[in-house]
C-alpha cells in the first residue's frame, strides 16, 4: 500500500494545476502580498478512515481554492469571474484542477464540488474581488 500524500504535496500539486490557467499567479499557500489575479489553496479539513468499496482506507482532504481577481470596484475583475467560473476554457479554474483527477499521481481522485462565495477581501487598505471553489481530494 502506498503512503498517502502529505498536505504539502497536495498543496503543491494544486498550485501546479492552477498555474495552467492563463495569466493566473499561483501559490501553494496564502501569499503575503496580493498581485492579482492570483490563486492559492487553503486546507479546511482532513477526514481519516474513509473506505473504498474494496475496504482500503482513505484520507480525504477538503480544500478551498481562493481566486483573487482584482480590485472590487474594477469592472474588468467582475468580467473575469465568468471565465474563471466556466466549466471549460483557458481561464477555467475547474478545467485546470480536473484536467488530472489524480493531480499528476499525487492523489487517488478528486472532485471540485462547487464554487461560491463571490465576496470582497480586505488587504492592505484595499478591497479585492474573490471567488472560492470547494474541492475534495482522496489520498
Looking at the domain assignment, is residue 31 inside a domain? Answer: yes
Give Cα 83 distance to the centre of its chain. 15
Looking at the domain assignment, is residue 2 inside a domain? Answer: no
Domain count for the chain, please give it. Answer: 1
Looking at the domain assignment, is residue 29 inside a domain? Answer: yes
- Residue 104: name the closest of 112, 114, 113, 96 by CA: 96
Looking at the domain assignment, is residue 109 inside a domain? Answer: yes
Residue 2 has pLDDT above 70, yes or no: no
- Model confidence at 116, pLDDT cuts 50, 70, 90, reads confident
Looking at the domain assignment, is residue 83 inside a domain? Answer: yes
Q: First and final CA of the chain: distance in angstroms?
A: 11
Which domain CATH number covers 20? 3.30.70
Report pLDDT digits (tens) over 19-57.
999 999 999 999 988 899 999 999 999 988 766 555 556
Q: Which domain holds residue 87?
A: 7-138
Q: Where are the alpha helices (DSSP H) in 22-131?
A: 75-85, 93-98
Average pLDDT across the chain, whole number: 89
The CA distance from 23 to 91, in Å, is 8
Looking at the domain assignment, is residue 52 inside a domain? Answer: yes
Report pLDDT digits (tens) over 124-133.
888 999 999 9
Residue 95 has pLDDT above 50, yes or no: yes
The CA distance from 81 to 133, in Å, is 12
Give this prediction's pTM: 0.88
Amino acid at each position: 500500500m502506498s503512503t498517502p500524500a502529505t498536505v504539502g504535496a497536495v498543496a503543491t500539486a494544486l498550485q501546479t494545476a492552477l498555474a495552467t490557467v492563463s495569466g493566473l499567479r499561483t501559490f501553494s499557500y496564502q501569499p503575503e502580498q496580493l498581485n492579482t489575479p492570483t490563486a492559492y489553496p487553503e486546507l479546511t479539513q482532513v477526514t481519516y478512515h474513509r473506505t473504498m468499496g474494496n475496504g482500503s482506507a482513505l484520507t480525504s482532504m477538503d480544500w478551498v481554492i481562493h481566486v483573487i481577481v482584482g480590485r472590487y470596484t474594477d469592472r474588468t475583475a467582475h468580467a473575469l469571474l465568468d471565465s474563471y467560473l466556466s466549466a471549460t476554457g483557458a481561464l477555467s479554474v475547474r478545467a485546470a484542477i480536473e484536467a488530472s483527477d489524480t493531480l499528476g499521481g499525487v492523489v487517488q481522485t478528486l472532485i471540485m464540488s462547487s464554487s461560491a462565495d463571490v465576496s470582497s477581501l480586505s488587504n492592505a487598505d484595499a478591497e479585492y474581488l474573490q471567488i472560492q471553489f470547494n474541492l475534495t481530494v482522496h489520498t
